Amino acid sequence: MALFGAFFLALLAGAYAELPGCKMRITSKALELVKQEGLRFLEQELETITIPDLRGSEGHFYYNISEMKVTELQMTSSELNFHPEQELILQITNASLGMRFRRQLLYWFFYDGGYINASAEGISIHTALQLSRDPTGQIKVSNFSCQASVSRMHVNFGGTFKKVYDFLSMFITSGMRFLLNQQICPVLHHAGMVLLNSLLSTVPVRSSVDELVGIDYSLLKDPVASSSNLDMEFRGAFFPLAERNWSLPNRAVEPQLQEEERMVYVAISEFFFDSAMESYFRAGALQLSLVGDKVPHDLDMLLRATYFGSIILLSPAVIDSPMKLELRVTVPPRCTIKPSGTTISITASITIALVPPNQPEVQLSSMTMDARLSAKIALKGKALRTHLDLRKFRIYSNQSAFESLALIPLQDPLKTMLQIGVMPLLNKHTLRGVQIPLPEGINFVREVVTNHAGFLTIGADLHFAKGLHDVIEKYHRPADASEPQASSVPPTSMAAA
């Protein structure tokens, strides 16, 4: 009985699980590009290592090593891979660091000082990074582990006391190697948990699209990694800014991702577009009113001829009043995605009236319009853009079939008016696009859109328009300077000596 109850609860939870409107897959083909940019970022971070001064003595030999700084970093071998449990693993082997420091050496009564070069060789670094969803739906680095070791140090001593230095250098190099071992992982831990999270914070969660509508890209669950890709599920829902708590139930087909040939894939369901159109509908944006000179002259003359019988019965003060044509969408438009293409169905009312000055308007007719638009979806940079074309158009009367027949002469002029006057306004707005959830500085290139039954997929490659270091400098560094350094330092067990 208990087993049956548990099974029932599992089914119930699955039935009420929220479906994503947008999915994203990062494939292993993107890792080489990410690794190249990531290694450049790590090089810049490791070059900021600050090594404590080293002081000591051995018999009559006293030394003080200070102002140790990293001057260059070389990484000859590195691998970045997805891992089912730890998301991303970076392995660096046989790396080397160039260093420069100030020496102050005393042997009996002989003193020597100055600057000297050194190198750390055989450096191995192993890091594991885990991604998760925070309570707001933002993607973040939730765990970062690190192990690092330096195999050997070499100091280029010279001068009068070179032979003495060579004999006693192991005391200095062993101490420097120990200190360097202790510094690598704290720097990388800070880069992963603090700086990388500042980059991920640029991925939009709930943001405004324009002055009327916003979009919600909250992660619905933690990212899921396999050996070949990383999958993320986003809510992908629009909402009116005046009703931030409103949401459209998602009853669309769940988008699917199967491909792995490109660096990244985005899948978007019909729900994504339906929520956008219903949000604009609820915001009162899907209406248009043309009065007087805004009504095309030829259409104005045709409307007056069509409704001449009604106009002639009006008072002389009203007959020559400006014409008004009002178009108002009556129900939220709906999107249909098929392998053959994407269409949007619209039902609207068209009201024709005269607007005499300082008097109530006089309605001449009210009719219903059914229209079908074809939508061409494209992804440019990070912006998902839509170009609309009017394909089918039909008007009919709300009053009688006889009046519907009388409206036939208006069919083509109204369609032309929509194509010339309304569609450019719509496309001006839809071609602005809406951002797909990617961090700042990363764009899509070489995009290919493929339609399926109920959803579409976009395959693309990635391009770093800005370096990781530049983006982090912009979004984090000013605040980072005031943060206590201890907050980014991992437990000492994370830095392997």
CA distance 131 to 123: 26
Buried b (16+ CB within 10 A) or exposed e, 247-276: ebebebeebebeeeebbbbbbbbbbbbbbb
Helix (H, G, I), strand (E, B) or coil at 22: strand
Q: What percentage of residues in the chain have a pLDDT greater than 70?
A: 85
In this structure, what are the phi and psi dihedrals at residue 461, rounded to the nearest 5 degrees? -105, 165
Tokens of 417: 């008016």
- Span 227-239, average pLDDT: 93
**Which residue shows structure tokens 């699980």?**
17
pTM to 2 decimals? 0.82
pLDDT surpasses 60 at 299? yes
Torsion on CA atoms 284, 287, 292, 293, rounded to nearest 10: 110
Answer for the pair 312, 372: CB distance below 8 angstroms, yes or no: no
Single out the residue of 383, 381, 355 nearest to residue 443, CA to CA.
Answer: 381
Name the CA radius of gyration of the chain, rounded: 34
CA distance 56 to 175: 9
CA distance 428 to 134: 36
Single out the residue of 438, 386, 416 nearest to residue 204, CA to CA.
Answer: 438
Helix (H, G, I), strand (E, B) or coil at 357: coil
pLDDT surpasses 90 at 345? yes
- Span 184-200, average pLDDT: 88
Give 135-153 as a DSSP string: TTS-EEEEEEEEEEEEEEE
In this structure, what are the phi and psi dihedrals at residue 295, rounded to the nearest 5 degrees? -80, 125
Q: What is the DSSP letter of 219?
A: B
Tokens of 281: 């509908």
Bridge partner list, 350: 327, 367
Bridge partner list, 233: 23
Helix (H, G, I), strand (E, B) or coil at 91: strand
* The predicted structure's pLDDT at residue 15: 47
pLDDT surpasses 50 at 488? no
Answer for the pair 2, 47: CB distance below 8 angstroms, yes or no: no
Beta-strand relationship, 264-269 and 287-291? unpaired
Q: What are the chain's domains? A: 29-202 (3.15.10.10), 286-437 (3.15.20.10)
Confidence of residue 271 (pLDDT cuts 50, 70, 90): very high
User: pLDDT of 466-484, one tens digit each?
Assistant: 777 777 777 665 444 444 3
User: pLDDT of 145-157, one tens digit each?
Assistant: 999 888 888 777 6
Distances (CA, A) of 445 to 30, 55, 63, 188: 12, 54, 56, 30
Where is 362: in which H helix or E strand? strand 362-380
Helix (H, G, I), strand (E, B) or coil at 339: coil
- Span 261-275, average pLDDT: 94
- Span 354-383, average pLDDT: 88
pLDDT surpasses 60 at 486? no
